[in-house]
């Protein structure tokens, strides 16, 4: 997707988009009788679908095609055609669009490539396309797109061959910047017997984009779940607002966003800038808004399957019924890795489950039925009923061996019968252990008809469930999200540590006692007032990483050590950066040792403020053990995020060490979030390290850096 320009401040009304998506009249510019041509394919799709609106064919070399009359030019069209499909080379597109605008056509679909993605000439043509559209209030889909398919009314405006089947129930809407991916997803969902309401390819998004179609589908009664494939959002605030509206409408959005950018827009001034790239910021913001982010194309379709088919979204702990002990161990490993909770079930804690099983099978989760279910198929019914009644379990997964038809003929009828009788109000998912087994299609169809997602792989089922289980949502606690302002005029550029601390300390960010000085005598007086031991820190906006320059001297126990440290500090800086003039030196109380964290923040110009928190110190950028958070989280939500860090065991008393004061960390994060919301000119903020002490003893930020960058 290449989109250098967009129509400024244009949001198309639903009625205008209806003329593109649900047209009553269609013109095909470049209609052709040649099999395989784009124009021929579009006409064939419309006829196969039984489209009953007016179809106007345009071809200057033909008087008729397939018994339909042809017009020589768009200029001969009747006024007010809903949509024109341009199945012509790029060189003719601009002239055709201008002619269509003259005839008051409402919308245009441009298949042709070679616009903004095709060099300077193509870029200029795309800009001209935007100009024509803007001047005529013309909706344009594309260029460089595959068009759209409306399965609700049977309107396939694409050259990709489409089946004649129409939508029979509320289903999945697809919006993709990649036309190829839209087609692939459609095939994948059809193979699972999942319906699609609309499939829309946005291409270069010269005029309309993902945001326009997303908003339309949120209001569409035929769409229950929305799948997006997006490389770059044009208008992030609009996406986040749409996500909020989707949640209110109880519609789920699932996103595949390729391109974890290595060349992220990151400032070299702070750890935060180097560690929070564009993709990471986008992901943190959309997930907080309630959008599920899929890892790959397969997972996108898996999550869409669960979201549409299940009676409710799989959330909370899962119960697992299987007939393999090794599978049980494998799934315990997998679910720990992906963060899917499998509540512990025992003979004592699950008496109903214990009651319905043979004595030789211990109660556990996953529950291994061994081969007993082949002898007693009703065991599936009894164990399912017991698990579905357990309030600790939000869903049940059947991880079943299905190696051959004889085995399937024993197991599937028993499971299907149990599900038909029990009519579960919780999600039940079927995951076969042996992908490729010859499972009779009728059994899979019966499961799906009962609202049961069928997966040929248990890993895929569990990963999709974990994605849905991780949906953002408040914990019901009140949190102060009001913006904080510094009350000071912030200068542009990098603000050195001593000034940054002066700004942040009144806002509730805890720092060691310190004084800014410019000579040794003042340093001695400051140290005497603060109390030894002290630390000396060189102060200059040009020293964002002071330790690299030898600009930090620690553990100075008395006046003599202070003088020696002062001399060493100046010598180190002179060697590191000859000619650098320091603003001064910060004299601070020597903080006691603790666990080092980093808390930073970034005001992304598109997505807004995001906070980075995790294990810090000089190795922060090497280990990259951090989480990205949106402002407005409660302390409990922040702590849950911190518990997802790779080194999270260190937070809770690893090998006899005391648990850390995570509440103190959460309070700093909250204040940083409120500040970034209130001061959008702060591009980045970095507290590294933040030393965290045992529970109840608080935390101290030892260093601080602020980067101010006002929008021009």
How far apart, in whole angstroms, are the C-alpha atoms of residue 590 and residue 440? Answer: 72
Q: If you average pLDDT over residues 285-313, what whole number do you get? A: 94
What is the spatial distance between Cα 6 and Cα 197, in angstroms, rounded to a whole number? 27
Q: What is the pLDDT of residues 175-203, one digit of tens each?
A: 999 999 999 999 999 999 999 999 999 99
What's the pLDDT score for residue 269? Answer: 41
- d(Cα 710, Cα 45) in Å, to the nearest integer? 52
Average pLDDT on 272-299 reads 83
Residues 6 or more apart in contact with residue 248 via CB below 8 angstroms: none
Pairing relation of β-strands 584-589 and 626-629?
unpaired
pLDDT at 610 over 70: yes
Among all chains, which residue has been given the structure tokens 């393999």?
324
pLDDT-based confidence at residue 396 (cuts at 50, 70, 90): very high
Beta bridge partners of 110: 86
d(CA 31, CA 73): 11
| pLDDT at res. 547 | 86
Beta strands in 605-692 (DSSP E): 608-615, 626-629, 682-692
User: 406: which residues sit within 8 A by CB, 6+ positions away?
Assistant: none
What pLDDT, in 10s, does the model give residues 639-692? 999 998 988 999 998 888 899 999 999 999 999 999 999 999 999 999 999 999
Q: What's the pLDDT score for residue 266? A: 39
Mean pLDDT, residues 112-129 taken together: 92
Q: Which of 336, 319, 305 is nearest to 457 (CA)?
A: 305
Most confident of 270-284, 357-371, 459-473: 357-371
Q: Determine the pLDDT at residue 654.
A: 81
Give CA 579 to chain center in angstroms: 47
Contacts of 267 (CB under 8 A, 6+ apart): 273, 274, 683, 684, 707
Residue for token pair 């007693």:
376
Q: In the prediction, which pLDDT does 267 show? A: 37
Mean pLDDT of 495-518: 95
pLDDT tens, position by position, 138-159: 999 999 999 999 999 999 999 9
Q: Are residues 223 and 171 in contact, defined by beta-carbon separation less than 8 angstroms?
A: yes
Name, in order, each residue with C-beta under 8 angstroms of 119's C-beta and a sequence gap of 6 or more. Answer: none
With tokens 């494998």, the residue in question is: 330
**Residues 27 and 108 sit within 8 Å (Cβ to Cβ):** no
Residues 6+ apart with CB under 8 A from 297: 181, 184, 185, 188, 256
Average pLDDT for 347-359: 95
* pLDDT score of 476: 54
DSSP 427: -
CB atoms near residue 592 (< 10 Å): 10
> How far apart (Å, rounded) are the C-alpha atoms in residues 557 and 531?
9
Mean of the pLDDT values across residues 411-417?
97
Alpha helices in 482-628, H assignment, sequence order: 497-504, 520-530, 559-576, 620-623
- pLDDT-based confidence at 617, cuts 50/70/90? low
Please identify which residue in the block is written with the tokens 């999200």: 481
Query: For residues 305 and 6, what is the distance between their CA atoms, to the nearest angstrom?
Result: 34
Question: Quick check: 265 pLDDT over 60?
Answer: no
How many CB atoms are closer than 10 A to CB 12? Answer: 20
Task: Please give the backbone phi and psi of residue 675, each rounded to the nearest 5 degrees, phi first.
Answer: -65, -45
User: How confident is residue 491, by pLDDT bands cut at 50, 70 and 90?
Assistant: confident
Tell me the percentage of the chain whose pLDDT exceeds 70.
94
Encoded tokens for 392: 């600790």
507, 671 Cβ separation under 8 angstroms: yes
Report the distance separating Cα 600 and Cα 612, nearest Å: 5
At residue 483, the 3 state secondary structure works out as coil
> What's the pLDDT at 313?
86
Residue 93, CA distances (Å) to 55, 78, 87, 108, 126 in order? 20, 19, 9, 10, 10
Alpha carbons 533 and 223: distance in angstroms, whole number = 66
CB atoms within 10 A of CB 10: 13
> Which has more pLDDT, 6 or 457?
457
| CA gap 410, 407 in Å, rounded | 5
Q: Which of 586, 599, 598, 391 is nearest to 497 (CA)?
A: 586
Per-residue pLDDT tens for 24-67?
999 999 999 999 999 999 999 999 999 999 999 999 999 999 89
Cβ atoms 660, 651 nearer than 8 A: yes
Host H or E run for residue 406: helix 405-422
Residue 370: is its pLDDT beyond 90?
yes
Spatial separation of the C-alpha atoms in residues 286 and 472, rounded to whole Å: 9
Rg from Cα positions in the chain: 31
CB of 367 within 8 A of CB of 319? yes
pLDDT at position 502 over 80: yes
Q: Is the peptide bond before 533 cis (omega within 30 degrees of 0)?
A: yes
Overall average pLDDT of the 249-276 stretch: 64
Q: What is the mean pLDDT of residues 234-251?
A: 95
The answer, yes or no, to whether residue 560 has pLDDT greater than 70, is yes
Give dist(CA 454, CA 456) in Å, integer: 7
CA dist., res. 204 & res. 143, Å (int): 6
492-495 long-range contacts (CB < 8 A, ≥24 apart) are: 492/708, 492/709, 492/710, 493/541, 493/707, 493/708, 493/709, 494/269, 494/541, 494/542, 494/544, 494/705, 494/706, 494/707, 494/708, 495/541, 495/705, 495/706, 495/707, 495/708
**Sequence-separated (6 or more) residues with CB below 8 Å from residue 423:** none
- Segment 334-351 mean pLDDT: 93
Residues 520 and 523: their CA atoms lie apart, in Å, by: 5
Instruction: Tell how strand 428-432 and strand 453-455 pair up.
Output: parallel
Strand blocks (E) in 87-195: 107-110, 139-141, 148-150, 155-157, 171-176
Q: What integer best gives the mean pLDDT of the chain?
A: 91
- Global pTM reads 0.89
């Amino acid at each position: 997707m290449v989109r250098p320009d967009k129509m400024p401040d244009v949001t198309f009304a639903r009625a205008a988009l209806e003329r593109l998506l649900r047209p009553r009249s269609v013109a095909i510019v470049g209609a052709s009788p040649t099999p395989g041509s784009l124009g021929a394919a579009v006409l064939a799709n419309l006829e196969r679908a039984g489209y009953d609106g007016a179809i106007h064919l345009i071809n200057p070399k033909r008087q008729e095609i397939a018994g339909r009359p042809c017009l020589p030019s768009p200029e001969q069209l009747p006024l007010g055609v809903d949509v024109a499909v341009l199945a012509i080379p790029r060189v003719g597109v601009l002239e055709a669009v201008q002619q269509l605008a003259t005839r008051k056509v409402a919308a245009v679909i441009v298949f042709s490539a070679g616009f903004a993605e095709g060099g300077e000439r193509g870029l200029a043509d795309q800009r001209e396309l935007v100009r024509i559209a803007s001047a005529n209030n013309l909706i344009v889909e594309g260029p460089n797109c595959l068009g759209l398919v409306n399965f609700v009314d049977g309107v396939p405006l694409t050259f990709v061959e489409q089946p004649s089947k129409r939508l029979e129930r509320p289903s999945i809407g697809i919006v993709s910047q990649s036309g190829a991916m839209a087609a692939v997803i459609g095939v994948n969902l059809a193979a699972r017997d999942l319906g699609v309401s609309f499939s829309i390819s946005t291409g270069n998004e010269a005029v309309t984009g993902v945001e326009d179609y997303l908003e339309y589908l949120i209001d569409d009664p035929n769409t229950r779940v929305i799948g997006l494939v997006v490389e770059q959002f044009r208008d992030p605030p609009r996406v986040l607002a749409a996500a909020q509206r989707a949640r209110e409408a109880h519609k789920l959005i699932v996103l595949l966003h390729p391109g974890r950018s290595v060349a992220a827009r990151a400032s070299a001034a702070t750890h935060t800038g180097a560690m929070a790239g564009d993709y990471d910021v986008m992901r943190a913001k959309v997930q907080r808004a309630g959008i599920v982010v899929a890892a790959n194309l397969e997972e996108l379709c898996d999550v869409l399957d669960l979201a549409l088919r299940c009676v409710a979204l799989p959330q909370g702990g899962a119960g697992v019924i299987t007939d393999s002990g090794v599978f049980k161990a494998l799934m315990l490993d997998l679910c720990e890795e992906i963060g899917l909770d499998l509540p512990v079930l025992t003979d004592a804690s699950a008496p109903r489950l214990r009651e319905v099983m043979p004595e030789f099978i211990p109660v556990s989760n996953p529950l291994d039925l061994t081969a007993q279910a082949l002898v007693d198929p009703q065991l599936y019914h009894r164990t399912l009923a017991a698990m579905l009644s357990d309030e600790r379990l939000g869903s049940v997964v059947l991880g079943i061996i299905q190696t051959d038809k004889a085995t399937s003929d024993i197991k599937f009828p028993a499971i299907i019968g149990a599900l038909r009788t029990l009519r579960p109000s919780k999600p039940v998912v079927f995951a076969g252990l042996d992908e490729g087994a010859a499972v009779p299609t009728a059994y899979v169809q019966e499961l799906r008809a009962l609202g049961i997602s069928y997966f040929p792989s248990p890993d895929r089922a569990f990963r999709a469930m974990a994605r849905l289980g991780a949906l953002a949502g408040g914990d019901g606690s009140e949190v102060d999200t009001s913006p904080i302002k510094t009350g000071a005029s912030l200068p542009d550029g990098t603000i050195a540590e001593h000034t940054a601390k002066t700004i942040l300390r009144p806002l509730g960010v805890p720092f060691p006692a310190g004084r800014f000085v410019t000579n040794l005598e003042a340093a001695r007086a400051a140290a005497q007032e603060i109390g030894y031991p002290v630390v000396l820190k060189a102060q200059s906006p040009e020293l964002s990483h002071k330790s690299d320059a030898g600009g930090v001297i620690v553990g100075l126990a008395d006046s003599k050590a202070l003088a020696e440290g002062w001399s060493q500090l100046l010598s180190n800086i002179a060697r590191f950066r000859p000619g650098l003039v320091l603003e001064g030196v910060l004299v601070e109380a020597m903080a006691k040792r603790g666990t080092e964290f980093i808390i930073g923040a970034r005001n992304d110009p598109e997505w807004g403020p995001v906070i980075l928190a995790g294990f810090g110190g000089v190795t922060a950028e090497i280990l990259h053990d951090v989480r990205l958070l949106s402002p407005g989280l409660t302390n409990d939500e922040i702590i849950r995020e911190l518990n997802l860090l790779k080194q999270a065991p260190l937070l809770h008393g690893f090998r006899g060490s005391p648990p850390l004061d995570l509440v103190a960390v959460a309070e700093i994060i909250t204040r940083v979030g409120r500040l970034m919301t209130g001061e959008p000119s702060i591009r980045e903020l970095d507290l590294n390290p933040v030393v965290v002490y045992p529970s109840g003893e608080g935390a101290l930020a030892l260093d601080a850096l602020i980067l101010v960058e006002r929008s021009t």
